Amino acid sequence: MILVTGGAGFIGSNFVLDWLAGSDEPVVNLDKLTYAGNLNNLLLLRQDSRHIFVKGDIGDTTLVAGLLNRHRPRAIVHFAAESHVDRSILGPGEFITTNVNGTFSLLEAARAYQRDLSDAEQAGFRFLHVSTDEVYGSLGPDDAPFSETTAYAPNSPYSASKAASDHLVRAYHHTYGLPTLTTNCSNNYGPYHFPEKLIPLVITNALAGKDLPIYGDGQNVRDWLYVGDHCAAIRRVLLDGRPGETYNIGGWNEKTNLDVVHTLCDILDRLAPKAAGSYCDQLKFVKDRPGHDRRYAIDARKIERELGWKPAETFESGIQKTVRWYLDHQEWVRDVQSGDYMKWVEQNYGQREGSRA
């Protein structure tokens, strides 16, 4: 049995689906079901007794302690987090509550739980914390990619809250001996991605005939990691990672935001062509967000060298799969685009002056 937090979100739900597709080991899935948590992501498991879903907050110490004592998991895989930079700029408080205070509460619960395990169970127990490359700050165009020893330099409330949670996880290993593992991943994309993020936003807006907003000059660079590859990497770290260690997980796919949008438009032009013109006609440059990091890049050689993992998907193969998934799952998109989501889109993008590409 493993306990997964945030297992109804984008990466978490992909991980739960992936885990149960390849293993009979049950999953207790704890998720608060905030705006980005979606049980429709897990419909394939609705009749699967190996999946035990619990609606709840990682900060609810009584609930978490009860789940640990009842189900006796051999590992906690911690995805639960507020994760969108734009939302953290508009309202940072929730990010501190969930990412810092919530992680602290979960670590305390794990520490108390592990203390009562047998020696053999303690030796096998793991607390795997899923984090982000954004904790490292921003790179110049010629800087070496982020490694596990890169100094932290977060530049947004989101990345600062994740940096704080990383430090707590490290401290609980070194101070209390909790067998922690930390992964810092690059930008994920793939199925079930909430449409506030760049790739699903562009796909859904393009098909709806809406503007495709691009911050600033569109030259911000990200390393793109297909979510299925990320799930495989987490499984490897959980299986063979050394307690107390950090592993960077990247796709070796550095792309500018503008290149990504053009690629998406080209695929959509081929798979779902408009009556006239190209989806690129909908591109619109908008005012950049405050503190927008210029470049992220991950050096993923440590996890390849020590654990034998490397991504199976190229950006070209992964993005084709992603666009096809969204075209085949328009009902899922409609369901998640609630009134609250549309209000947020208007709040974030509606006040930004822009120009056509």
Angle at 317 between CA 6 and CA 25, to 5 degrees: 35
Can you read off the two tokens belonging to residue 246?
């950090």
Question: Which residues on neighbouring strands pair with residue 132, listed in sequence order?
Answer: 185
Q: Which of 31, 57, 82, 133 is catalytic?
A: 133
Q: Which of 113, 136, 158, 296 is catalytic?
A: 158
Q: Which of 31, 57, 86, 134 is catalytic?
A: 134
- Residue 109 CA to residue 116 CA, distance in Å, equals 11
| Phi/psi-derived region of residue 160, left when phi > 0, alpha when psi is between -120 and 50, beta in every other case | alpha
Tokens 């991943």 -> residue: 185
Q: Confirm whether 133 is a catalytic residue.
A: yes
Looking at this protein, which amino acid is placed at residue 308?
A: G
Question: Which residues on neighbouring strands pair with residue 225, listed in sequence order?
Answer: 188
H-helix or E-strand spanning residue 287? none
C-beta separation of 275 from 243 below 8 A: no
Per-residue DSSP letters for 5-57? ESTTSHHHHHHHHHHHHH----EEEEE---TT--GGGGGGGTT-TTEEEEE--
Per-residue DSSP letters for 206-257? HHHT--EEEETTS--EEEEEEHHHHHHHHHHHHHHPPTT-EEEE--S-EEEH
> Residue 210: which of 274, 263, 290, 271 has the closest Cα?
274
Q: Confirm whether 134 is a catalytic residue.
A: yes
- Residue 15 CA to residue 235 CA, distance in Å, equals 9
Can you read off the two tokens belonging to residue 321?
């799969």
Q: Confirm whether 211 is a catalytic residue.
A: no
Question: Which residues are known to be catalytic?
Answer: 133-134, 158
